[in-house]
Chains A and B, each alone.
Chain A
Amino acid sequence: MVILNNQTQGRNWTTRLDAKKEQLEKVKGMVDGVIIPTEKIVDVLEKLIRPKDRVIMEGNNQKQASFLSKALVQVDPGKVYDLHMIMSSVSRPEHLDIFEEGIAKKIDMSYAGPQSLRIAQMIEDGRLELGDLHTYVELYGRLFIDLIPNVALVAADKADRAGNLYTGPNTEETPTFVEATAFSDGIVIAQVNEIVDELPRIDIPSSWVDFVVQADEPYELEPLFTRDPRHITDIQILQAMMCIRGIYEKHGVQSLNHGIGFNTAAIELLLPTYGEQLGLKGKICRNWVLNPHPTLIPAIETGWVESVHCFGGELGMEKYVEARRDIFFTGRDGSLRSNRTLAQLAGQYAVDLFIGSTLQMDALGNSSTVTKGRVAGYGGAPNMGHDPGGRRHSTEAWYNMMTSKDELARGKKLVVQVAETFQAANQPVFVERLDAVDVKKQAGLAVAPVMIYGEDVTHVVTEEGIAYLYMSDSPSERRQMIAAVAGVTPIGMKHDAKATALLRERGLVALPEDLGIRRAEAKRSLLAAKNIDELVQWSGGLYEPPAKFRSW
């Protein structure tokens, strides 16, 4: 027998759906089926968005729903106010203008690099309430837990008249945002570059989408992952050689993530040359999670790469990707399918190695990229740059990190931090105390914005050498190892030559000569491509670089 709870009797269990129906009713006369006329977007947003709603504004370090963000800042703050914004990235001026206008009040976000000074000022002035700074995966996860959205404003390439969406190479996090909203009776509005009769493929089905609106101009897209090899320095090449020899080869790294740094671009461009000389093809760097980096083209062309899964697309790489569909994830139509959420998860759990560069590192290996007076957030680096304790599958490299003989001993994700000991303006990278500690105080954050925690770092690479941190649990020994490669920074000055010699003997620290690398060999002539033009040549003309990268 079921005992009915009196309290549930008479309770309405469909308040969200009822509210949605009510909102949709308000715009009935203004829309044409699922299509919002371009010029009516501001009026429609005023009717569909209620004060205090949680609103996803799609924008990350690549694709921006720029038409919708420009429309949102034009709504009447008397009608739409105190919104709680959820954004991967605060990148465009109007993303913060909506707070200055009083349209929005609170924000949960991952990254604000391009607006890091303004957002710091607005937090200080009480104009913007920071919910939290998230990593990508945490932000996406919370959409399904306690940050369930009321409205999603997203960007797609094309829609058909039923509201099916084609997001193509730049699918990124759109499906995640739409899923969290559509299945919690929220309202999904997609801006599209064009409305067509037939889509190349359907990335998001129309039953998840409430409205589409044709934008007055295509969404903004940043070619963020294009690194011109001309800017790669000899020091970066030396570091890349050390990584290949002293980490990738030593541990048998098969699967990995590379970010946007010139350090990692150098590694990509050394595989077909230096890597080939070492006879490493097929032994390392086979399966990748990374965007379609133009600098990976030579390695792909020479048969190093078996697979690449992407967070997003990269401007100019569309045709090349289509022509290499054995390597990339592509749809029936031929174009790339990216997915930031799944790529982040893959980068977190499924790969052997994460490698990234840092601007500051303390004596224990905690690192951060923040600057005082700025609030920049994280993006996805902390997701991939840590050892996920829940991992169970074993690979050679992961297993290789095991240092204990305990019965229950397990391996470790490789988390590599690359840094030159000094940045521009004589700023030491290795410091006693991270600026992140000051930023925490200035911005009233709950925790200091550390990008990668020292306890997760397995290797530190500088132009001086490699510190194999995973080999020691002792804080004092780890300090010594970092000091040994920290050059003449305040931290580095503390190392003593005898201790370093001992660390080298025990294999805890390796200098280039210990790895059989002669510093004089680290020259730009080793790069498989020395400029964008050579990348185009490697691609057989399939790579079409954006104008700002063309030099001819």
Chain B
Amino acid sequence: MKTAFLFPGQGMQYPGFLEDLPDMAVVHGTLKEAEQILETTIDSLHSPYALSTTKAVQQSLLIAGVAMSRLLEQEGAKPDYVAGHSVGAFGAAVAAKSCTFEQALKLVTLRGQMMEQSLDLQYGMGVVVGLTEDKLIDIVAEFHTEEQPVYVSNQNSPTQITLSGNKKAIQRVLEYVERKGARSAKLLNVSTPSHCPLFEHVKDVLEQEMDDMLFQRPKIPIAANRNARLLRQAEAIKADLAESICHPVKWHDATNVLYENGVRIFIEMLPGDVLTKLANTAFPDVRAVSTQKVAVEDVLYILNHKGV
């Protein structure tokens, strides 16, 4: 019975959430390290104001993921695989020892900055529940124009799919699918059209930045965002970290590949339990838990007792 650590992307952060990390030396050490690298204070990262900026959200998500996974590892919990959703992939890369915490912090800072720079209130994302990716691709093709582009983006589950692009176009798709059998269709509260071609320039900048960075072969395989393959090479991990921002995250396929490789325990780093819920719904016989909801001792108990 194998275990995977999951690192969430944007969405479940809340003011002060880094304070909910367990009160342990390795956590404090990680927070301090982040403050030094970023030359800032943790308080200024997860304050209500800071969390309204993409950069701070991404930085603090990475910090939380790394702190939590370091703590689990120190307590003897060793995953067989890791995977991170969107910006969560950077935390996964650190946990797999493919890049350093410092490298990852630099990259997510840059990534967040670039995304913010392209901020345009006309753009955003939506989510549709109850229709398959295929069906949505056909529908979206009818609404997409060069002036008001809209794309099918993340595949969170077979029937929970996000849209990215121009808000008006997204709105039109949402209204249409509500009449075509979607269980739910709504606009997300973000102004960044992530994981679609509109962010190709962010990918280019990340690629350039990583050109000079030395990544290692990961100690454990990472399930990729873009093509749901298991990555075992430094270059493939770099490519996935860069490309993910302008391509759909194949999250369901990525976790499905882990499942087919024998993973039956998924442990999600805080904040939140979005990935935990997705895993529990997709795979009835797995045990998925969130470190937001379950104390570290209990996580360790689950791992030591093979999921019980």
Contact status A121-B257, CB under 8 Å? yes
User: Quick check: is A117 within 8 A (CB to CB) of the other chain?
Assistant: yes
Contact status A93-B261, CB under 8 Å? yes
User: Quick check: is A141 within 8 A (CB to CB) of the other chain?
Assistant: no
Question: Which residues of A lie under 8 Å from residue B16 when comparing CB positions?
Answer: none
User: Quick check: is B131 within 8 A (CB to CB) of the other chain?
Assistant: yes
Contact status A117-B256, CB under 8 Å? yes
Contact status B130-A114, CB under 8 Å? no
**In the complex the two chains form, what is the Cα distance from A372 to B137 in whole Å?**
14
| Pick from A116, A125, A427: contact of B132, CB under 8 Å | A427
Question: Which residues of A lie under 8 Å from residue B228 when comparing CB positions?
Answer: 117, 121
Known: A425-B132, A426-B181. A118 touches B257 (CB 8 A): yes
Question: For chain B residues 87-146, which have a beta carbon within 8 Å of chain A?
Answer: 130-132, 134
Known: A121-B229, A372-B134. A425 touches B260 (CB 8 A): no
Contact status B260-A373, CB under 8 Å? no
For B232, give the chain A residue with the smallest CB separation: A100
What is the interface of chain B mostly: helix, strand, loop, or mixed?
loop
Question: For chain B residues 221-235, which have a beta carbon within 8 Å of chain A?
Answer: 227-229
Question: Which residues of A lie under 8 Å from residue B261 when comparing CB positions?
Answer: 93, 118
A364-375 near B? 1/0 per residue, CB < 8 Å = 000000001100
User: Quick check: is B262 within 8 A (CB to CB) of the other chain?
Assistant: yes
User: Quick check: is B15 within 8 A (CB to CB) of the other chain?
Assistant: no
Known: A121-B229, A372-B134. A425 touches B158 (CB 8 A): yes
For B134, give the chain A residue with the smallest CB separation: A372
Contact status B260-A115, CB under 8 Å? yes
Shortest distance from the beta carbon of A46 to any chain B beta carbon, whole Å: 24
| Pick from A93, A114, A372, A426: contact of B131, CB under 8 Å | A426
Contact status B132-A93, CB under 8 Å? no
How many chain A residues sit at the interface, stated as a range, is 10 to 19
Contact status B130-A426, CB under 8 Å? yes
Question: For chain B residues 169-213, which have a beta carbon within 8 Å of chain A?
Answer: 181
Contact status A117-B260, CB under 8 Å? yes
Shortest distance from the beta carbon of B161 to any chain A beta carbon, whole Å: 11
B237-266 near A? 1/0 per residue, CB < 8 Å = 000000000000000010011001110000
Q: Which of A96, A115, A372, A373 has the most CB of B within 10 A?
A: A373
Contact status A373-B262, CB under 8 Å? no
How many chain B residues sit at the interface, stated as a range, is 10 to 19
What is the interface of chain A mostly: helix, strand, loop, or mixed?
helix
| Pick from B130, B181, B257: contact of A117, CB under 8 Å | B257
User: Quick check: is B159 within 8 A (CB to CB) of the other chain?
Assistant: yes
**In the complex the two chains form, what is the Cα distance from A121 to B226 in whole Å?**
13
For A124, give the chain B residue with the smallest CB separation: B227
Contact status A114-B260, CB under 8 Å? yes
Question: Which residues of B lie under 8 Å from residue A121 when comparing CB positions?
Answer: 227-229, 257
**In the complex the two chains form, what is the Cα distance from A96 to B229 in whole Å?**
13
Question: For chain A residues 19-53, which have a beta carbon within 8 Å of chain B?
Answer: none
**In the complex the two chains form, what is the Cα distance from A125 to B228 in whole Å?**
12
**In the complex the two chains form, what is the Cα distance from A114 to B285 in whole Å?**
13
**In the complex the two chains form, what is the Cα distance from A372 to B134 in whole Å?**
9
For B160, give the chain A residue with the smallest CB separation: A425
Contact status B159-A425, CB under 8 Å? yes
Q: Which of A115, A117, A125 has the most CB of B within 10 A?
A: A117
Question: Which residues of B lie under 8 Å from residue A426 when comparing CB positions?
Answer: 130-131, 181
For B2, give the chain A residue with the smallest CB separation: A93
**In the complex the two chains form, what is the Cα distance from A230 to B225 in whole Å?**
38
**In the complex the two chains form, what is the Cα distance from A115 to B261 in whole Å?**
8
Shortest distance from the beta carbon of A189 to any chain B beta carbon, whole Å: 24
For A372, give the chain B residue with the smallest CB separation: B134
Contact status B253-A425, CB under 8 Å? no
**In the complex the two chains form, what is the Cα distance from A117 to B228 in whole Å?**
10
Question: For chain A residues 68-123, which have a beta carbon within 8 Å of chain B?
Answer: 93, 96, 114-118, 121
**In the complex the two chains form, what is the Cα distance from A115 to B256 in whole Å?**
9
For A96, give the chain B residue with the smallest CB separation: B260
For A97, give the chain B residue with the smallest CB separation: B261
**In the complex the two chains form, what is the Cα distance from A110 to B158 in whole Å?**
25
Q: Which of A118, A425, A426, A427 has the most CB of B within 10 A?
A: A425
A459-485 near B? 1/0 per residue, CB < 8 Å = 000000000000000000000000000
**In the complex the two chains form, what is the Cα distance from A93 to B262 in whole Å?**
6
Question: Which residues of B lie under 8 Å from residue A425 when comparing CB positions?
Answer: 130-132, 158-159
The 8 closest A-B pairs by CB, nearest first: A425-B159, A426-B181, A93-B262, A118-B260, A93-B261, A117-B256, A115-B260, A425-B130
Given contacts A117-B256, A121-B257, A125-B229, 9 further A-B contacts (CB under 8 A): A93-B262, A115-B260, A116-B260, A117-B228, A117-B260, A118-B260, A121-B228, A373-B253, A425-B131
> Which B residues are within 8 Å of any A CB, using their own CB?
130-132, 134, 158-159, 181, 227-229, 253, 256-257, 260-262
